[in-house]
Amino acid sequence: MNTGVSVILPTLNEADQVATALESLANQTYDEFEVVVVDDGSDDGTIEVVRQFESAVPDLTIIERDTATGLPSALNTGVTEAKYDLLARQDADDRSMPPRLERQVAYLNRNPETALVGSGAYLTDSDGSLRSVRHVRIKPSKDQLLDSSPFIHGSVMFRRDPFETVGGYSEQFPTAEDLELWARLAVKYPLRNIDEPLYVLQMNPDSVYATEMYRTKLYGKYGVIRTLTDRCPDDFDDKVEADGISAIEELLTPEELQTLRVTTAQELLRYGDRATSLSHSGAALRTNPFDSMSWGTVGLAVAPTALVTKIIECYRTKLNRDIIKENWRTKIEDQAIPSGGEHTFKRQ
């Protein structure tokens, strides 16, 4: 039975955020774990903040790298240095709820065939105030990977053997390295979620994801299409390296490209970036000037903030209800995945 957990926490200039993440790990209800911090060349005092937690987190390893070499490389380094065979992710600007590690270890021990388990999350604004809850599919399919990532990267726990068998994080992917890895794992192993908010995900408008969203989504599409379909030529990696990420758009049908633009525009509204959202909506309309979703997103980009916020809340509510219904159908069919408890969100 697996018991010990290595939590991999990469940092890069996170001095203002990392203390919150480490506090959440220090407050776990599970005892047998270590934290491996891989700093990718911070110059803002991040390491000094991390060292302040050496007593609160007794089993703390700090790996300092002089220059930034990218998140996938940092994650692979953390896994290499980790001492346990269960590996958990934690982002420096997010938090883990107290029972997170305990629940995920118990799940993986009950389900030895499962390679990875993620969780639902509380979504917060950058000031820590609760925005909403994100429900997740407990049994996502490979087809769903082609649409979007069914996992919150920072929430996942996975086994070392499957991770190493498929080759770890691809350092060829400067972003969307998680979705590309999930696709390779999904070919060989079951991947699951616990639909409980065991993680707290900060909706930070200054995050790499928010500021490079379309690029991230393009790389994500490339990773899953390359792995899960036969649509990607063998030499396409060379084309992307030579021509840049715009080459990835050639793999997409006009409908897929339009959907990608629209979903990017809609998600940018959640982060408050109206100007970039409007730009992507316009690009979608150039693909199909009669698409109602594109026009609707254009309208939202220029609508009053209160109206946009209300519509986004309604959309999240509907999406959560659909996922909850799907999860109940899955539980009835499988009769194997117990429902979880509830947690109280506290602003910190």
For domain 5-206, which architecture applies?
Answer: Alpha-Beta Complex (3.90)
Q: How many CB atoms lie within 10 A of CB 129?
A: 9
Residue 348 predicted with pLDDT over 50:
no
Task: Note whether 340 and 195 are within 8 A (CB).
Answer: yes
pLDDT in tens, 262-299: 999 999 999 999 999 999 999 999 888 999 999 999 99
Residue 346 predicted with pLDDT over 60:
no
What's the pLDDT score for residue 68?
87
Residue 325 predicted with pLDDT over 70:
yes
If DSSP codes are grouped into helix, strand and coil, which group holds residue 66? coil
Task: Please compute the mean of the pLDDT values over residues 247-254 and round it to a whole number.
Answer: 92
132 to each of 141, 153, 203, 301, how far by Cα in Å?
24, 18, 11, 21
If DSSP codes are grouped into helix, strand and coil, which group holds residue 5? strand
94 to each of 29, 45, 121, how far by Cα in Å?
18, 18, 10
What's the pLDDT score for residue 336?
53
Residue 338 predicted with pLDDT over 90:
no
Using CA atoms, how far apart are residues 186 and 322, in angstroms rounded to an integer? 23
- What one-letter code names the amino acid at 293? M
- What's the mean pLDDT when you consider all of the chain? 93
Using CA atoms, how far apart are residues 157 and 89, in angstroms rounded to an integer? 6
If DSSP codes are grouped into helix, strand and coil, which group holds residue 93? coil
Express as a percent the part of the chain with pLDDT over 90.
Answer: 83
pLDDT in tens, 191-233: 999 999 999 999 988 888 889 999 999 999 999 999 999 999 9
337 to each of 46, 136, 182, 192, how far by Cα in Å?
40, 14, 21, 10
What's the pLDDT band for 343 if we cut at 50, 70, 90?
A: low
Place of tokens 């959440």: 24
pTM score: 0.92
What's the pLDDT score for residue 339?
47
Q: How many helices (H) and strands (E) does the chain have?
A: 14, 9
Maximal CA-CA distance, the chain: 60
Task: Please compute the mean of the pLDDT values over residues 238-267 and round it to a whole number.
Answer: 92
Task: Note whether 184 and 162 are within 8 A (CB).
Answer: no
SS (H, E, C) 300-339: HHCCCHHHHHHHHHHHHHHHHHHHHHHHHHHHHHHCCCCC
SS (H, E, C) 88-129: EECCCCCEECCCHHHHHHHHHHHCCCCCEEEEEEEEECCCCC
Contacts for 333-342: CB closer than 8 Å, 24+ residues apart: 334/139, 336/111, 337/138, 337/139, 337/192, 339/195, 340/103, 340/194, 340/195, 340/196, 341/196, 342/196
Task: Please compute the mean of the pLDDT values over residues 7-32 and round it to a whole number.
Answer: 97
pLDDT in tens, 103-146: 999 999 999 999 999 999 999 998 889 999 999 999 999 989 99
Highest mean pLDDT range out of 178-187, 237-246, 335-344? 178-187
pLDDT in tens, 40-79: 999 999 999 999 999 999 899 999 998 889 999 999 999 9
Express as a percent the part of the chain with pLDDT over 70.
Answer: 96
pLDDT in tens, 155-188: 999 999 999 999 999 999 999 999 999 999 999 9
Domain boundaries, the chain: 5-206, 213-307
Using CA atoms, how far apart are residues 58 and 41, in angstroms rounded to an integer? 24
Strand partners, 202: 124
What's the pLDDT score for residue 190?
97
Residue 332 predicted with pLDDT over 50:
yes
Start-to-end CA distance of the chain, whole Å, equals 35
